[in-house]
Chain A
Amino acid sequence: ETGVTQSPTHLIKTRGQQVTLRCSSQSGHNTVSWYQQALGQGPQFIFQYYREEENGRGNFPPRFSGLQFPNYSSELNVNALELDDSALYLCASSFGQGKRAGELFFGEGSRLTVL
């Protein structure tokens, strides 16, 4: 186990609804990244939070937003859900700067189904 926990593990929403996914980082990690993994694909970088600020974003629209809290936990919010948003959403924590920044520790993910 990585020590990164995510909730909920599974959820079903309908088009147009909004969803909030939550993540608790591994102790000692100050950086949280969120990834979207569609079926049969590798994870795609959504964004990253470091010291409570977004400091990197992938090719995702503004309806994907997030927060990081002082205890390094994080939320991913998706508004106006679309069918293509159906995927596994992965939270990953890491040490932050330096080469080891890419050594990500993933939570078990939240599987979102949009109907």
Chain B
Amino acid sequence: QKEVEQNSGPLSVPEGAIASLNCTYSDRGSQSFFWYRQYSGKSPELIMFIYSNGDKEDGRFTAQLNKASQYVSLLIRDSQPSDSATYLCAVRRAGGTSYGKLTFGQGTILTVHP
């Protein structure tokens, strides 16, 4: 079992729709959860982070965390063609000294078509 699993997609949604991206993780010691967006040929950029159970909203983005189910999701409302990218889910384990060590999923390719 992979430590962080995502559906690789591609996920295709029409412009204006809600895109739902899902991620599960296996390590119950995971403390922090991140969503990175990566455009083709570019490096990942952080778009959301969540540390507590529940929802966290930032503009058109909502991150949802359910630690009991070991599940993280990202909702993108009013999807735009510019949202077309690979979305990477990443988790960080609690404790330890490897502060910058994230475990990434393989990413979900999202395509928003006009």
Contact = CB atoms under 8 A, between A and B. Distances in A.
A89 to B, nearest CB: 10
A103 B92 CA distance: 10
A2 B34 CA distance: 17
A56 B103 CA distance: 13
Q: Which of under 10, 10 to 19, 20 to 34, or 35 or more describes the interface residues of A?
A: 20 to 34
B99 A97 contact: yes
A24 to B, nearest CB: 14
Contact of A104 (B4, B98, B100, B105): B100
Interface in A24-47: 31-33, 40-45
B109 to A, nearest CB: 9
Contact of B88 (A42, A45, A94): A42
B104 interface: yes
B32 interface: yes
B60 interface: no
Q: Which 3 A-B pairs have the closest CB atoms?
A: A56-B98, A42-B104, A101-B99
21 contacts: A31-B100, A33-B101, A40-B106, A42-B104, A43-B88, A43-B104, A44-B104, A45-B102, A45-B103, A48-B100, A50-B97, A50-B99, A90-B43, A94-B100, A98-B99, A99-B31, A101-B100, A102-B32, A102-B34, A103-B34, A103-B49
